[in-house]
Amino acid sequence: MPFFTSNQYTTVSYEYYGARDALGRCTIAVACVGRDIMPTSDRGSISVVRPTGWHDSAIYERAHLIAHCLTGEDANWENLISGTYDLNGEMVRYENMVADYIKETGNHVLYRVTPIFEGNNLLASGVLMEAYSVEDSGAGICFCIFIHNVEGDYDIDYATGDYELSDDSALKDATYVVNKNKYKIHKSDCSSVTDMSDANKIYYYGTYDEVVADLIGKGKNYSNCGSCHPENG
């Protein structure tokens, strides 16, 4: 059950983004989402925003507190945190559920996302997502969940956002990683690997020729990543 109080229930759409704190961290985003404030145009660029704990070309994405699909926010510094691919992927499931419900019913959903920072950490430990459909008293949408800001294979220092491969990670000594959806071969340090769901990863610890021989032996049509060029060794 979300922690909303009954005096917060309204059928008038609004959105609110709390001011960042003294360390520059996002604090809260609240909205009563109705069709009238949902976006009518495509998402704009958000790359100008550098949330606290941000590292370029890393395991992070700029994660909206309130998704673009709900309130149409783009480069809003009060609404973007450094979030792992795992966190963002998990949030999207709930965001799409809410967006679909509103589009189908025309009802309003009271919606609040609160990033949780321990102490002076610059990286959030996770986000609390709360949602409640107003007109039907929560019959359509009612959830309160905490999503952890973690990424498989990596240990994260939440004070700074620095990260490193876990000692027990299968990726630690891997030379190549193959995506078993597309049988595309990547070098283990390719940025696409962090974006890949763990269930789709096949780890290899030998040479490129050994990877290819294994895939051919399995009768798979493989391809090489056009970004990391594993065929170049």
The site for Zn ion (CB under 5 A) is made up of: 186, 190, 192, 225, 227-228
Output the smallest distance, CB 110 to Zn ion, in A: 42
As a dihedral over the C-alpha atoms of residue 215, residue 165, residue 86, residue 193, rounded to 10 degrees, the angle is: -30
> Which among 78, 50, 44, 73 has a CA at the least distance from the CA of 62?
50
- Minimum Å gap between C-beta 190 and Zn ion is 3
Residue number, 157 or 195, with CB nearest to Zn ion: 195
Question: What is the gyration radius of the CA atoms in the chain, in angstroms?
Answer: 20
Of 171 and 228, CB closest to Zn ion: 228
> Least distance in Å: CB of 227 to Zn ion?
5
Choice between 32 and 228, CB closer to Zn ion: 228
Tokens encoding 83: 């979030």
Closer to Zn ion by CB, 68 or 184: give it: 184
Q: Which tokens hold the place of 212?
A: 């290819």
Least separation, in Å, of the C-beta of 198 and Zn ion?
A: 16
Between 77 and 208, whose beta carbon lies closer to Zn ion? 208
Contact 66, 73 (CB under 8 A): yes
Cα dihedral 162, 167, 168, 170 sign: positive
- CB atoms near residue 187 (< 10 Å): 20
